[in-house]
Structure 1
């Protein structure tokens, strides 16, 4: 498989468990439960170039800071955005008092998630390599699908930052058509953590080829109503620590995580 022009993905530190390599990144918190271990999320929050909470995610974040007694610096987000139908008004006022920029995004043709990403990048003076979105996938299937759909918006934002959904169980991102190399930490391979390749666009016939997986794909089609590569894992005998993937359809990649 030729990967001379492959997209390179290495968002997880190869050696340190629960450490990430997002480059220059922003962080955004959605209105879902926060279940990432407090020390990890504190490190991610403090290391971000710009911090955003989206609507009721603001209440979630400030409650997390209070309940877990974490050392968040700064405690308040740089940006609070949304149509403000789920945030407590007292929380919104408190954020204003503590220097957060409040950005109303009332347009109902788009989700708060998408509008929040646009508001964030419009106000960031630095080029972002990545945006890390804290969101627990599950519960309402419509909201889960909506979150996955929004992953593609990165190609439309200034600098085309990579957007990662980060939850307690997994990290998920969008793959464009073309070739990709995903670096897999050895500890995930040894523990045979799960990974998945899921369809994104409604393309009836596509070709997906991989190496580095326990159950590789050899030009097969990934689509709803057909094959979906769920509950896959990694080839423990492969020494490259790479999953190489070539696709002529847009896909979703998701991978299980461990925290200790």
Structure 2
């Protein structure tokens, strides 16, 4: 009997440290969250990571939203090859006592390296979920690079890694059986979701979606699932190759 991999989007979207210990990673991408949402996600994280130019984005978000720096928990560390972080951001983080982790390897992206550096923190802090702040607009090359990081799976299979923007939550479904819990209101409001074959054609069977498939081959040049929605707050997906799961979380679905 195959193991069912569980993804609890309902808990992730309302996450606090007391509920689920998690790590929070800020990449060098626009931060379009509301002030309240970003502060909640940042301050409740057990481990908080700024990735290279993500430090500049973090300070900019604080300034743009008229927040006090001391209202934000101190970053656990900043990592990367340090080719994007400004000297001003570096000095400010130094004064805060933020650890600096230099990762010069150019064969890996800063995103991948940040997950590798996260490994020693996971088990001692009982972290099973990692949220990576990104933005799915503008730089499609960077989005694809982040999906590639998920393919490389720098963390153990027991750790769920999510990409999250202000309006989208996404992650990689590995071959196997998956169970996805979504908020009941997403069913009522017909919030969009989809799954994109990222590893050639995949035989897919689903339940709990508006447009379900049974032993159907999806793939580029065939069919991909976009603009789908839910018939149940519990979704089942079985795939024999990787799928990139995406779901709307913004006010407009």
- Which residue matches 2:14? 19
Q: How does 1:85-164 map to 2 (within 5 A)?
A: 85-123=83-121, 125-154=124-153, 156-158=154-156, 160-164=158-162
Q: Distance in 1 between matches of 2:121 and 2:234?
A: 35
- Which residue matches 2:38? 41
- Which residue matches 1:172? 170
| Residue 246, structure 1, aligned to residue 245, structure 2 | no
In angstroms, what is the RMSD of aligned CA positions? 2.2
- Secondary structure at the counterpart of residue 108 of structure 2: coil
**Among 178, 188, 191, the residue aligned to 1:190:** 188
- Secondary structure at the counterpart of residue 27 of structure 1: strand
Post-superposition CA distance 1:41-77 (Å, at most 9, x none): 1111111111000011101111212221346654431
- Which residue matches 1:213? 209
- Secondary structure at the counterpart of residue 165 of structure 1: strand
What are the ranges of 5 or more consecutive residues in structure 1 without an aligned counterpart?
A: none
**Among 64, 69, 72, the residue aligned to 1:67:** 64
- Which residue matches 1:51? 48
- Which residue matches 1:228? 224
TM-score normalised by structure 1 residue count: 0.88
TM-score normalised by structure 2 residue count: 0.90
Cα pair 1:79 1:120 within 8 Å, conserved: no
Give the superposition deviation at 1:81: 0.6
Give the superposition deviation at 1:232: 0.7
Cα pair 2:43 2:73 within 8 Å, conserved: no
Cα pair 1:19 1:40 within 8 Å, conserved: no
- Secondary structure at the counterpart of residue 9 of structure 1: strand
Cα pair 1:79 1:102 within 8 Å, conserved: yes
Give the superposition deviation at 1:159: 6.7
Q: Distance in 1 between matches of 2:156 and 2:10?
A: 24
Cα pair 2:50 2:78 within 8 Å, conserved: yes
Q: Distance in 2 between matches of 1:168 and 1:41?
A: 9
Give the superposition deviation at 1:217: 1.2
The number of equivalent residue pairs is 248
- Which residue matches 1:255? 247
- Secondary structure at the counterpart of residue 207 of structure 1: strand
Give the superposition deviation at 1:192: 0.6
